[in-house]
C-alpha cells in the first residue's frame, strides 16, 4: 500500500470524487496525560474510543493506530492543545507552557516521518490572559500569556493516510516536563475524511 502526497489543488479536487465515496471536513484527535517528571515520549492515535473506558472526549479513533477499511484521511494541518480540568491559575498556565513550548513532534505514516518540527509550531487557537500569584497580599509572580491567533502546523502538501496503514504523531522531550498537576495534551489532525457512503 502506498502513501499519497497531495498538493493543495489535489485536495480541492477531492470534492469531485463521485461514486460510493463521501468527502468530509474532519478532525481526528487524541489526548494523552503528562504527569510531572514522568513522560519523555508520547505516541498519539494509538488508542480507540471504547477501549479500556476511553471516551469520545479523549479520542475519536475507531481503531488504534489506523483507519478502518475503505477509509482514507488527508492531513492538512496538525494542532497541539494543552487541556486542564481545573480553574486556571498561574501554576497551570506554566504547566501548559511547560508541555507545549519544549520538545518536538513528528508525524509518522508507516515507518517514515512526514513532518518533524518543534512542538511549539503546532500550537493553535486562542491562548491568552494575565496571571499572578500572591501570598499574604504580596505578589510573588505575574505574567502575560500572549494570544496565538494564527493556527500553526499547516502542511503545504497533504499526506493521505490509507486504510489499515499505521500512523501516529510522536511527541518527545529531552527532559520530562515538570508540571504542578497532570496536564493533558491533545493532538488534532485536521483535514479531509474519505469514506464509503451509507446505504
Distance CA 23, CA 193 (A): 6
Domains in the chain: boundaries: 4-19+28-177
Q: What is the pLDDT of residue 12?
A: 78
Q: What is the CA radius of gyration of the chain?
A: 19
**Residues whose CB falls within 8 Å of the CB of residue 192, separated by 6 or more in sequence, listed in order:** 11, 14, 23, 24, 25, 26, 73, 74, 76
**Residue 9: phi, psi to the nearest 5?**
-65, -40
Q: What is the pLDDT of residue 137?
A: 56
Residue 107: Cβ within 10 Å count: 25
Q: What is the pLDDT of residue 149?
A: 44
Closest by CA to 80, choosing from 114, 106, 61, 62, is 106
31 neighbors 56 (Cβ within 8 angstroms): no
Q: What is the pLDDT of residue 150?
A: 47
pTM: 0.83
Q: What is the pLDDT of residue 60?
A: 97
Q: What is the pLDDT of residue 148?
A: 46
Written as tens digits, the pLDDT of the chain (199 aa) is 678 888 888 887 776 666 788 999 999 999 999 988 888 999 999 999 998 999 999 999 999 999 999 999 999 999 998 887 656 677 777 888 889 889 999 999 999 999 999 999 998 654 455 555 555 655 445 554 555 444 567 888 899 999 999 999 999 999 999 988 888 999 999 999 999 988 6
Q: What is the pLDDT of residue 198?
A: 85
Amino acid at each position: 500500500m502506498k502513501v499519497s502526497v497531495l498538493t493543495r489543488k489535489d485536495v480541492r479536487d477531492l470534492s469531485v470524487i463521485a461514486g460510493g465515496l463521501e468527502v468530509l471536513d474532519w478532525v481526528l484527535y487524541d489526548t494523552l496525560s503528562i504527569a510531572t517528571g514522568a513522560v519523555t515520549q508520547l505516541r498519539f492515535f494509538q488508542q480507540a474510543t471504547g477501549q479500556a473506558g476511553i471516551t469520545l472526549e479523549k479520542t475519536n479513533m475507531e481503531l488504534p493506530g489506523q483507519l478502518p477499511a475503505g477509509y482514507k484521511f488527508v492531513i492538512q494541518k496538525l494542532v497541539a492543545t494543552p487541556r486542564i480540568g481545573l480553574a486556571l491559575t498561574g501554576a497551570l498556565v506554566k504547566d501548559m507552557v511547560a508541555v507545549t513550548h519544549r520538545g518536538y513532534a513528528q508525524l509518522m505514516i508507516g515507518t517514515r516521518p512526514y513532518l518533524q518540527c518543534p512542538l511549539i509550531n503546532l500550537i493553535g487557537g486562542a491562548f491568552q490572559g494575565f496571571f499572578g500569584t500572591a501570598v499574604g497580599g504580596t505578589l510573588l509572580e505575574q505574567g502575560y500569556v500572549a494570544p496565538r491567533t494564527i493556527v500553526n502546523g499547516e502542511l503545504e502538501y497533504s499526506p493521505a493516510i490509507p486504510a489499515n496503514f499505521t500512523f501516529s504523531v510522536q511527541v518527545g522531550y529531552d527532559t520530562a516536563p515538570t508540571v504542578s498537576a497532570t496536564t493533558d495534551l491533545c493532538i488534532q489532525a485536521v483535514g479531509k475524511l474519505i469514506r464509503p457512503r451509507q446505504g
